[in-house]
Structure 1
Amino acid sequence: MPVLQQQPHRYSSLSGSPNQGQVEVSDWHSRVFRVFCLLMLTVLSLSLSNRVQAQNPRALDTYQKQYQTLHTDFRDKLIQLAQSCQRDQQQAGVQTISEIIKEVQEFDPQAHPLPREVQPDLPPSLPAAERNWRLKLRNLQEEQANDLFVFSRKVLHAGFPSYAYDLILETAYHNPDHRSVRQILGYVRNGDEWATPFEKEMHDRKQQWHPRFGWLPASHIARYEQGERYVNGRWKSAAQEAEIRRDFRNAWEIKTEHFLIKTNHSLEMGVKLATEMEDFHRYFHQTFAGFFNTPEQFKQLFEGARNPFQRRNKNDQHVMHYYSTREEYLQRLQKDIPQIALTHGIYLFGDRISHFYHRPDAEGDLGTLYHEATHQLFYESSFQGKNHQVGEKNHFWAIEGIACYMESFEKNGKKSRAGNPHHIRFNAARYRLLEDDYYVPLNTFAAMGRNAFQTSPNISPNYSQASGLSHFFMHASRGEYRDAFINQLTQLYSVNSRVRNNPQSLEELTGFSYTDLDRQYREYSASLQKALNERALSLQSRP
Structure 2
Amino acid sequence: MAVRPKTLALLAAAFVIAASFQVTTTTFEALGAGAQVSDPAQENGSTEDNAGFDELEAATVKFQAELARLAEICDSLNLHAEAAYTRKWSVPQRTDQLALYLPLAEVPEAKTPNAARWLKHFHAARQSYAEALFVAAKSVVARDEAAAYRILWRLLRENPDHPGARKVLSGLVASATANPRLRKGTAALSDLGWAPRSYYSVNSRHFNLVSNADSDSTKVLAAQLEQTFVLWTQIFYSAWAEPGTLAAGLSKADPVTINFPRNRDKFRVVLMKDRESYLELLGASEEAAGASVGYYWPAGKQSIFYASDELELTLNHELTHQFFAESARELDKKSTVGESGDYWIVEGIAMYMESLSRHENHWTVGGWESARLQTARYRGVRDGFWIPTERLSSSTLEGWKADPQISLLYTHAAGLTHALMDDRLGKPTRSATISAIGALYAGRRLGKTLLQPFGIDETTSKNNYQDALLVTDADVIGLSESKKQVDELVLVGSRLTADSWNDLTAQSQVRWLDVSFSNVSEQALARWLSGSQKLERLSVEGTQLSGVAAASGRKLQTLTELDLSDTGLTDAQLQALQGHPTLEVLWLTRTQVTDEALSTIRSLPQIRLVDVTGTAATSTAWQQWRQ
Q: TM-score range by the shorter chain?
A: 0.5 to 0.7
Equivalent residue for 2:352, pick from 405, 408, 411:
405
Question: SS state of the match for residue 45, structure 2?
Answer: helix
Question: SS state of the match for residue 146, structure 1?
Answer: helix
Matched residue type, 1:113: L
8 A Cα contact 1:78 1:97, kept in partner: no
* 2: CA distance, partners of 1:528 / 1:115: 33
8 A Cα contact 1:288 1:486, kept in partner: yes
Q: Is residue 2:408 matched to residue 1:493?
A: no
In structure 2, the residue matched to 1:291 is 239
Q: Cα offset for 1:126?
A: 7.5
Q: Is residue 2:168 matched to residue 1:176?
A: no
Equivalent residue for 2:294, pick from 324, 332, 345:
345
Percent identity of paired positions between Structure 1 and Structure 2: 22
Distance change >3 Å, CA 93–CA 417, structure 1 → 2: same
In structure 1, the residue matched to 2:504 is 536
1:124-146 Cα distance to aligned partner (Å, 9 max, x none): x989x976x87666555444333
8 A Cα contact 2:38 2:435, kept in partner: no
Give ranges in structure 1 of 5+ residues lacking alignment. 1-43, 189-193, 200-208, 217-229, 234-245
Q: Is residue 2:366 matched to residue 1:419?
A: yes
Q: Cα offset for 1:444?
A: 4.3
In structure 1, the residue matched to 2:92 is 106
Equivalent residue for 2:37, pick from 52, 55, 61:
52
**Pairs aligned (count):** 441
Distance change >3 Å, CA 368–CA 74, structure 1 → 2: closer
Q: Cα offset for 1:433?
A: 0.8
In structure 2, the residue matched to 1:368 is 314
Give ranges in structure 2 of 5+ residues lacking alignment. 1-29, 477-488, 492-500, 509-526, 532-627
Question: SS state of the match for residue 208, structure 2?
Answer: strand
Question: SS state of the match for residue 321, structure 1?
Answer: strand
Q: Is residue 2:130 matched to residue 1:157?
A: no
Q: Judging by fraction of residues, say which structure has more helix.
A: 1
* 1: CA distance, partners of 2:39 / 2:457: 14
Matched residue type, 1:366: E
1:485-523 Cα distance to aligned partner (Å, 9 max, x none): 1111110111xx4xx235782367x69757666544322
Distance change >3 Å, CA 91–CA 296, structure 1 → 2: same
Distance change >3 Å, CA 170–CA 325, structure 1 → 2: closer
In structure 2, the residue matched to 1:505 is 449
Question: SS state of the match for residue 166, structure 2?
Answer: helix
> Once structures 1 and 2 are overlaid, which stretch shifts more, 66-75 or 274-283?
66-75
1:322-364 Cα distance to aligned partner (Å, 9 max, x none): 3334444444343443545455432222221222345xxx534
* 1: CA distance, partners of 2:216 / 2:367: 29
Matched residue type, 2:269: M
In structure 2, the residue matched to 1:480 is 428
In structure 1, the residue matched to 2:615 is none
Matched residue type, 1:458: Q
Structure with more contact order per residue of length (Cα contacts < 8 Å, sep ≥ 6): 1
Alignment of 1:235-254 (within 5 A): 248-250=194-196, 251-254=198-201
Question: SS state of the match for residue 422, structure 2?
Answer: helix
Q: Cα offset for 1:403?
A: 1.0
> Once structures 1 and 2 are overlaid, which stretch shifts more, 430-439 or 140-149?
140-149
* 1: CA distance, partners of 2:323 / 2:310: 21
* 1: CA distance, partners of 2:284 / 2:318: 20
In structure 2, the residue matched to 1:380 is 326
* 1: CA distance, partners of 2:107 / 2:325: 35
Question: SS state of the match for residue 418, structure 1?
Answer: strand
TM-score using structure 2 length: 0.58
1:394-441 Cα distance to aligned partner (Å, 9 max, x none): 321111111112223343456433336555422211111122211224
Equivalent residue for 1:71, pick from 56, 60, 69:
60
Q: Is residue 2:432 matched to residue 1:432?
A: no
1:186-212 Cα distance to aligned partner (Å, 9 max, x none): 359xxxxx745995xxxxxxxxx47xx
1:76-103 Cα distance to aligned partner (Å, 9 max, x none): 45566778x69xx983899857854553
In structure 2, the residue matched to 1:5 is none
Matched residue type, 1:319: R
Distance change >3 Å, CA 384–CA 163, structure 1 → 2: closer
Q: Is residue 2:260 matched to residue 1:309?
A: yes
Distance change >3 Å, CA 328–CA 105, structure 1 → 2: closer
* 2: CA distance, partners of 1:442 / 1:56: 27
In structure 2, the residue matched to 1:394 is 341
Q: Cα offset for 1:312?
A: 2.6
8 A Cα contact 2:44 2:428, kept in partner: no
Distance change >3 Å, CA 103–CA 111, structure 1 → 2: farther
Q: Is residue 2:268 matched to residue 1:319?
A: yes
* 1: CA distance, partners of 2:303 / 2:128: 45
8 A Cα contact 1:253 1:260, kept in partner: no
Question: SS state of the match for residue 378, structure 1?
Answer: helix
Equivalent residue for 1:265, pick from 207, 213, 218:
213
